[in-house]
Each structure stands twice: as C-alpha cells, then as structure tokens.
Structure 1
Amino acid sequence: FQLNSHLSTLANIHKIYHTLNKLNLTEDVGQDDHQTGSLRSCGSSDCVNKVMPPRKKRRPASGDDLSAKKSRHDSMYRKYDSTRIKTEEEAFSSKRCLEWFYEYAGTDDVVGPEGMEKFCEDIGVEPENVVMLVLAWKLDAQNMGYFTLQEWLKGMTSLQCDTTEKLRNTLDYLRSLLNDSTNFKLIYRYAFDFARQSKYKVINKDQWCNVLEFSRTINLDLSNYDEDGAWPVLLDEFVEWYKDKQMS
C-alpha cells in the first residue's frame, strides 16, 4: 500500500485526538431562583373592628348552576385532553419508532445506503460526520451503511427517540460521549470492527489500538517518543516519516 498516505492518516488521527482533549463542551447549569411570598397579618384589635356581619349568599338559579358546572367541566376536560396529548407526544412509542424506520427502509427490514442518505439529510448530518459513528455504536450496527430493524428498535429505544426531531435533539448528547475517555476508547475500538469489511485492510486490531495509545501519550511534536520503546514498527515508521516531513 501507499505508505505515505497511511502515515499521513495517522498524523491526522494524532492531531484530532489532541484537539478533542482541548475542547470543553460542558457548562455549568445553574438552578432557577425561587421567589417566596410573605403574608401580612393584622393586629387582633384591628381585625375585630373590621369584622363585618356575614352576608347571605344568593342561591344561583337552576340554569345558572348548570351552566357553571358545564363550564367548569369543559375547562377541566380541555386541560386534561391537552396534557394527555402532550404526554403521548413526549413519551417513547415503539409503534411510532417502527413507522419511522420504514420511512427509510421502504419494504425491507434494513435501512440501506439510499435510505441512509435520506436519513442523514433529515437529521441534518453529513454521512461522514463522526456523530454517525457514535450513533452506529449506540445502535450496535454490524455493517457500515446499514441499520437493521432489530438494531434500530433496540438502539432508538435506549436513546428514547422515535422521531426525527427527537434524534436531532439528541445529537449534542451523542457528540458529548466522545469527551469521556472510556466511551471514546469503546467507540474507537468499535470503529475498527465496524469498518473491517472494507476492502482496505491496512492495519490489524492490535496496531489500531496502539495508535490510540500513541495519540494519548505522545506529544504533538513527538518530543517524548522513545524509539527504543515497545511501539510497533508501523509507528516507528510514522515517527520517522513525520520528522523528515517537518525538516523538509
């Protein structure tokens, strides 16, 4: 294979990892201030002086009574009905999730490349965006560019997404998973298995994991790289190539 091309790819991975470490996407979320009211009481003598004799309430006519009851009933029903509709829309629905899947799968039980292209367009994400890799990881997809019905239902249920809008609102959460070192390592390892069906098989899994360890421990200028260390030959060649490139 063309060694320079792959070594250049390793350089990009190394630079991307250090860039991610510098990102700080978290922010403190303050709690809303709560206002409290105060009740003003009057003195006993003042209250006694201001006591008025009770007035006899007028009994509403039968028509007025029925109208008032009906009005209260209608108001309560409208309030209950709007709350019920809002709750149903917010709650996850397996049926709605299934219908959402077939918008992209058509008559098949798998979303293929064409459906995936439309899916990415609807959620506003490019297919090569790293968040699509994180989504595939959450769905535990086995083949690149494909989501099976089982993978879709299991993954979207865990994310509680059954509509395009809900998934759009979840994208920031998916991106934030890359900021956690444990999740990043899991996603990185998943990426190797996810892409292994590709015809381009440049490195094995051990080398792939060594690249991650290299990116975590070696400075961008490679100043702390030990040539006599237990790094694979691939990374020795990369360091040699990178230093020659910097000098030229």
Structure 2
Amino acid sequence: LTPRNLLQLLDARRFGTFYRFVFFMCREKGQKSLTVSIAVDAWRLALTGRFRLLDQWCEFVRMHHRHAITEDTWRQVLEFSRVVHEDLSNYDPEGAWPVLVDEFVDHMYR
C-alpha cells in the first residue's frame, strides 16, 4: 500500500482526525496558521482522490490568496470537499463558509 492508498481507506471520521493532524504538523513553530505554500502542498498530499476540485482550489489559492490559512479555513475546506458537488450546484452562498471559499466559488462561476 502506498501512503495515498492508505489514506483513501480511512473512514471519514478517522480521516477528519488525520486531516486536522496534518494542519498542526505543518505549522511553523509558534504559528497558528499555515503559509499559502505549505497549505497548498498539504492539501495536495491529504486531499488527492478526495476533493474533485482540488487542482482548481490549489491554483486559485496560490494565485489569489496572500494571507495565511487559518485552522478554521483549513477545516472548512475539508467540509466543502465533502458536501459541495463538483459542479457547485448545491453550494449555498448564505452558508457559513470562509470568505476564501466564497471567493473560490465566485471565481469558478466567472
């Protein structure tokens, strides 16, 4: 088994625990958030095969987001990847998504 295959076998709850762990392991000492570069690399590692819009998401964040990625945003990206359809048809703009997610959806509709 490759590390990626192993991650795909984890059930949703255990994967959520792993995903939160990735955030904490990737933080630089004394920091509460991740740099964009580290977050994108970590998303690619953790969410490949689990988030159908991963490539578009990572490209958008790299090109349009200059601020650090907070723990809340990190967690919400996993939820977004789980519940929103690839065509974004069930995305609720009134939902409690981080601004970065709202901006991504707007970008995808352009």
Give distance in 1, aligned partners of 2:9 and 2:17.
Answer: 10
Matched, 1:186 2:17: yes
1:232 to 72, 75, 98: 98
Contact 2:7 2:15 in 1 (8 A): no
* Aligned residue among 203, 208, 220 for 2:74: 208
Structure 1 position 181, deviation (Å): 0.7
Contact 2:20 / 2:75 at 8 angstroms: preserved in 1? yes
Using the TM superposition, name which of 195-204 and 211-220 deviates more.
195-204
Q: Once the 2 structures are TM-superposed, how far is the Cα of residue 197 of structure 1 from its aligned partner?
A: 1.3
After superposition, residues 100-179 of structure 1 pair within 5 angstroms as 131=3, 175=6, 178-179=9-10
Q: What TM-score, normalized by structure 2, do the two folds share?
A: 0.58
Structure 1 residues 223-232 or 192-201, which shifts more?
A: 192-201
Q: Which residue of 2 aligns with 1:29?
A: none
Q: Report if aligned partners of 2:23, 2:71 keep a CA contact under 8 Å in 1.
A: yes
C-alpha contact 2:23 2:74 (8 A) present in aligned 1: yes
CA 1:236 to 1:177, structure 2 compared with 1: closer, same or farther past 3 Å? closer
CA distance in 2, matches of 1:190, 1:179: 14
The answer (yes or no) to whether the contact 2:88–2:105 under 8 Å persists in 1 is yes
**Structure 1 residues 176-229: Cα deviation after superposition (integer angstroms, max 9, x where no partner):** 564311111011111111111187252100110011111111001100001112
State how many pairs are aligned: 74
Query: Alpha carbons of 1:219 and 1:187: their partners in 2 closer, same or farther (altered >3 Å)?
Result: same
Partner of 1:223: 89
Deviations 1:62-106 (A, max 9, x none): xxxxxxxxxxxxxxxxxxxxxxxxxxxxxxxxxxxxxxxxxxxxx
> TM-score, with normalisation over the residues of structure 1?
0.27
Residue 213 to residue 189, structure 1, CA distance change in 2 (3 Å)? same
Higher-Rg member (1/2): 1
Counterparts of 1:233 and 1:208, CA distance in 2: 12
Other structure's SS at 1:226 match: coil
Q: Could you say what the CA RMSD is over the residues aligned between the two structures, in angstroms?
A: 2.4
1:177, 1:183 within 8 Å by CA — same for their partners in 2?
Answer: no
Q: Could you list the runs of 5+ residues in structure 2 that have no partner in the other structure?
A: 37-67
Instruction: Give the superposition deviation at 1:242.
Output: 1.6
| Alpha-carbon contact 1:227-1:236 (below 8 Å) kept | yes
For structure 1, list consecutive stretches of 5 or more residues without a partner in the other structure: 1-124, 126-130, 133-171
